[in-house]
Amino acid sequence: MSDLLSIRGLRVEFGPSVAVHDVSLTVRPGEFVGLVGESGSGKSLTCRSILRLIPPPGRTSRGEISFDGRDVMAMSHDELRAFRGHDVGTIFQDPFSSLNPVFRVGDQLAETLRLNAGMGKREAKVRATELLDHVGIPDPARRYLSYPHELSGGMRQRVMIAIAIAAKPRLLIADEPTTALDVTTQAQILELLARLRREHDMAVLLVSHDFGVIAQVCDRLAVMYGGHVVETGTVGTLYQRPEHPYTRALLESVPSLESAGSAQRRPAIPGQPPELTETLPGCVFAPRCRFARPECQTISMALERVGPEHETACPIRPFATAPSAMRERAS
């Protein structure tokens, strides 16, 4: 199957600082792909690059981005507007700041339909109400008239999802869509995204810092750290056989059934992620890695294939099996 989205050698710079280093990523039609890593790892910038929305003074200095065979980097202003309006839908982390506080949520959804689907005012209102119902908002006709501040965080996020899928995009980018929500609402939003993916035959790129969130719905994962993709693979593969120490450390920090109700805390990754202005030799994770060796200072961070659809940037690969908590989740 050919790729719907293909990113090759993407590099994003802010002046002399490099925020995204030679990132490559693919999403197939109808596939649910996760992009996971700590804050500041370059996940959101990678997503903004797809839409050519890197904020100044940042710029994409190198790389190729293609969507269904079309060169996104070569698109004209009008082509880019159509691409953002029809081909790709986007959900951001904070729905409150994404919605205009002085307009009713239904009107904001209807305006999206008028601009991107060419609907008239009456048709757009009817379709907007249907979409609110489709994403699970109760009493959609009444909620159409609500302002953003009158809705809960989960309902605002559902409104943003409705806006994102209004033009029936082929790819939905969900950038940390559950971060500000409670656990129950998080599960509901993830279930909604999974259902919409099936019903609309839509690919989804889900960004999160939480491995537990990612694993619930994704087919395949890319793990980012310090602006690099450090490991890729299917969900089952990365849970059962993580080959990069950073992937393993992220998995070890996720609470398990064994630790539920226990006073014992899951191990945290020591230290802090690198700053944007830092230039580190070799493996960028080495300063925080308990398996680091002298040769880690000279590796290239290039991904090496270690199995079917499984690549890692760690040539040392200091372990071959997952701890029991990981195997528990994978099963």
First to last CA, the chain: 28
Other beta carbons within 10 Å of 60: 18
Q: Coil, helix or strand for 274?
A: coil
Going across the sheet that includes 58-67, the strands are 17-27, 5-14, 58-67, 70-71
Q: Which H or E run contains 260?
A: none
Three-state SS for 299-327 is: CCCCCEEEECCEEECCCCCCCCCCCHHHH
**Tens-digit pLDDT profile for the chain (331 aa)?**
689 999 999 999 999 999 999 999 999 999 999 999 999 899 999 999 999 999 899 999 999 999 999 999 999 999 999 999 999 999 987 777 789 999 999 999 999 999 988 899 999 999 999 999 999 999 999 999 999 999 999 999 999 999 999 999 999 999 999 887 888 999 999 999 999 999 999 999 999 988 888 888 999 999 999 999 999 999 999 999 999 999 999 998 877 645 445 545 667 888 899 987 788 889 999 999 999 999 999 999 999 999 999 999 998 877 655 544 444 444 4
CB 30 within 8 A of CB 85: no
Residue 209 gets the label, from left (phi > 0), alpha (psi -120 to 50) or beta, of alpha
| Interior angle at CA 318, CA 312 and CA 324, nearest 5 | 95
| Interior angle at CA 213, CA 208 and CA 304, nearest 5 | 65
Other beta carbons within 10 Å of 252: 18
Q: What gap in Å lies between CA 49 and CA 8, rounded to an integer? A: 12
User: What's the DSSP call for residue 200?
Assistant: H
Structural domains of the chain, ranges and CATH numbers in brackets: 5-93+170-258+267-330 (3.40.50.300)
Tokens encoding 252:
């070890």
Short-list 105, 111, 176, CA closest to 135: 105
Short-list 300, 302, 282, CA closest to 292: 282
Name the residue type at position 284.
V
Name the residue type at position 299.
I
Q: Which H or E run contains 173?
A: strand 171-175
CB 174 within 8 A of CB 230: no
